Structure 1
Amino acid sequence: MRWLSVCIIMFFGFQTSFSQNIQGRWIGKVTQTPGGYSELYDLELELTQRKTIWGESYAFEGDSVRIRFGLSGYIAKDSIHLSESLGWIREDKVPFSWVACVKQFVLAYRKEGSFEYLEGRWNGVGTDDLSKPCFPGKVILSRTIEGLNNFLEDHKDSLVVTEPMLIANINPPIPNFSPIFLNTEPKKITEIVVTQPDLQIQIVDYMKVDNDTVSVYLNRNLLAKNIRIAKRPALLNFKLDTRLELHEILLYAENLGQVPPNTSELILIDGENRHRVMIVSDKEKTAAVYLRYKPKKKNK
């Protein structure tokens, strides 16, 4: 999924208390680790609490992603356990190549001044195959928008801004395309001319799934760590530094799978253009794809 401009990467200690009922509406964010469809979703929970908990979860991003499940749960000591149910799908609207996750949450209640929060983690499985785990993530929920905004502002040092930040130095960086990378030799597979700075990579297994795992680097900077190559594509969104013409994408083999070498198909989405590249990496050579940025000239 497309994400908002900030992604929560750190949560804080809980002051646990269940003296107050958690029934009602909660609004917040749910993250997903690199390799998932996106990094941050909007999330709403509507909870009813008696001896057990039941209600509805609603994850969304604009009009392109709308996922609504019925859920149930319980409280055990200091943890709130909530589980969405595949049998209670109320809405499942995602882009064609995506699959919704049936999520399980483990949350804790915290009160900070007048603000109430539920924080914790989630994991889940795809609706198309319950044996396929989703990339997990974290959750922050508040009773109010004011409380949520207060959390994001107070903890801005623990947020990653995914929108490009202003660069004070007008001089472009000098890329390091040295012939050795993590004790391997970068091997050029192809060079692709791109016209957009905002790009997406999809990585998918084009042969038998055998637990290949790769890490992806842009200009020798880590984009995503330990992506398991599967039939369901892993999606990475990134932005080019427009001061540079040539950029390097490396797919480093973290392992060779059950049948060496490490193989995958990389799909680069540049606006309306799609480029497919077959990738082969091993412990001696790392596949390198070069992107040459040439923006379209504006009509006068």
Structure 2
Amino acid sequence: MRWLSVCFIIFLSFQSSFSQNVQGKWVGKITQQPGGYSQLYDLELDLSQRKNIWGESYAFQGDSVQIRIGLSGYIEKDSIRLNESLGWIRQDKVPFSWVACVKQFVLAYRQEGKLEYLEGKWTGVGIDDSESPCLPGRVILSRNIEGLNKFLEEHKDSVVVTEPIVVASSVPAVLDFSPEFLNTEPKKITEIVVTNPDLQIQIVDYMKVDNDTISVYLNRNLLAKNIRIDKRPALLNFKLDTRIEFHEILLYAENLGQIPPNTSEMILVDGEKRHRVMIVSDKEKTAAVYLRYKPKKKS
């Protein structure tokens, strides 16, 4: 009889892991690692559930990004696994040169009082190229806006994991452009005069994709880590400290790809201007691009 009781308890525990009700609408946020098009989007899931799960995801960022895709999935032990389908794309509105991702979610359900959450991670591939992985990220969803706002307030410093360049002091920092960086020698490629403090870097592979990976540093501070260079540009938005005239961008080779050295093309977007620079880095030399900030004179 005791053996039967133990088996019954185990059965109930096993069964309960598959009985979580996630049906309904969920609202939340989806992040993307640095190097993606944007680090934070809004996300909504509308789920139906019987034995399996099906429904629709809606990722958006204002009016410029609106991606609506059908999905299906199931509960496996404590994990909720949802897969968007390339054949169920219902809306694909993104800026020119962007590519939407078909995503896979691995989520966990948890409850805090009356508040319910789905939290986990996502991976994906580009809609136009199933062999091209998207930079992954995290997902947080709540049954209602109240729960989402509570989570965001409590985790406001960690929802998006970045390493921002913080300017808090009125005294400009003393920059150290020493001749050695991570056991390599910074090699000057070019110097560019920029007139805007808000800039964007676009990094794409040069000629053939061969799994090159780089990290980008601004004034020896990490801007983005382990960017896989691809045909689709990785975008990095950043702001210069306007108290400083001379800035340094380093493109450090994390590996050499299948065909050494590590090669890429960097496009610096300065307002309406675009500067194209060929980048070559290896384990001995790190490509260095210098920016000289000269704001436009007010007329």
TM-score when scaled to structure 2? 0.90
What is the RMSD of the two structures over their aligned residues, measured on CA atoms?
Answer: 2.0
**1:26 CA displacement:** 0.5
Q: CA deviation at 1:167?
A: 4.5
| Letter of the 1:201 counterpart | I
Tell me the residue number matched to 1:249. Answer: 249
Q: Distance in 1 between matches of 2:17 and 2:167?
A: 44
Residues 55-92 of structure 1 show CA distances to partners (whole Å, capped at 9, x for unaligned) of 11000101111100011111111111111111111000
Aligned to 1:269: 269
| Correspondence for 1:190 | 190
Equivalent residue letter for 2:228: R
Alpha-carbon displacement from aligned partner over 1:84-135 (angstroms, at most 9, x marks no partner):
1111110001112111110011111111112110001111111111121111
- 1:104 to 1:168, Cα distance in 2 relative to 1, 3 A: closer
The 5 A counterparts of 1:13-92 are: 21-92=21-92
1:157 Cα deviation after fit: 4.3
One-letter identity of the residue aligned with 2:139: V
2: CA distance, partners of 1:191 / 1:279: 13
Give the number of equivalent residue pairs. 284
**Larger relative helix fraction:** 2
**SS of corresponding position for 2:181:** coil
Which residue type is aligned with residue 274 of structure 1? R
Q: Which residue number in structure 2 is paired with residue 9 of structure 1?
A: none
Shift >6 Å, 4+ stretches: 161-166
- The aligned residue for residue 3 of structure 1 is none
Q: Which segments of 5 or more consecutive residues in structure 1 lack a partner in the other structure?
A: 1-15
Which runs of 5 or more residues in structure 2 are unaligned? 1-15
1:224 is paired with a residue whose SS is strand
> Which structure has the larger Rg?
2
For residues 270 and 88 of structure 1, do their structure 2 counterparts lie closer, same or farther at Cα, with a shift above 3 Å needed? same
Moved more, 154-163 or 120-129: 154-163
Aligned: 1:203 with 2:189:
no
Distance apart, 1:156 and its partner CA:
2.9
Q: Distance in 1 between matches of 2:144 and 2:130?
A: 34
Separation in 1 of the partners of 2:284 and 2:196? 32
The alignment partner of 1:275 has SS state of strand
Quote the offset at 1:155 in angstroms. Answer: 2.0
What is the CA distance between 1:164 and its match in structure 2?
Answer: 7.7
Aligned sequence identity (%): 81
CA–CA separation in structure 1 for the residues paired with 2:246 and 2:177: 10
- Between the aligned partners of 1:168 and 1:39, the Cα distance in structure 2 is 23
Q: Distance in 2 between matches of 1:275 and 1:154?
A: 41
Conservation of the 8 A alpha-carbon contact between 2:165 and 2:221: no
Q: What amino acid is aligned across from residue 216 of structure 2 in structure 1?
A: V
Normalised by the length of structure 1, the TM-score is 0.90
Aligned residue in 2 for 1:10: none
Cα distance in structure 1, aligned partners of 2:202 and 2:286: 18
Q: 1:124 and 1:188 mapped to 2: Cα distance?
A: 36
Q: Could you tell me how far 1:140 is from its partner in structure 2?
A: 0.1
Asked if residue 138 in structure 1 is aligned to residue 133 in structure 2, the reply is no
Does the CA-based 8 Å contact 2:198-2:237 persist in structure 1? Answer: yes
Shift of 1:161: 8.5
SS at match of 2:75: strand
> How far apart are residue 297 of structure 1 and its match?
2.2
Deviation sequence 1:185-206 (CA, Å, 0-9, x none) = 1111111111111111111112
Match of 1:278 in 2: 278
Whether 1:293 aligns to 2:271 is: no
- 2:105 maps to a residue whose letter is F
1:159 positional shift: 4.1
Question: Which residue number in structure 2 is paired with residue 176 of structure 1?
Answer: 176
Query: Is the aligned partner of 1:98 residue 2:87?
Result: no
Flag the 1:103–1:212 CA change in 2: closer, same or farther, 3 A.
Answer: same
Amino acid at match of 1:72: S
Contact 1:18 1:109 in 2 (8 A): no
**Contact 1:17/1:109 (CA < 8 Å) preserved in 2?**
no
Secondary structure at the aligned position of 1:156 is classed as coil
Instruction: Tell me which residue corresponds to 2:216.
Output: 216
Contact 2:201 2:267 in 1 (8 A): yes
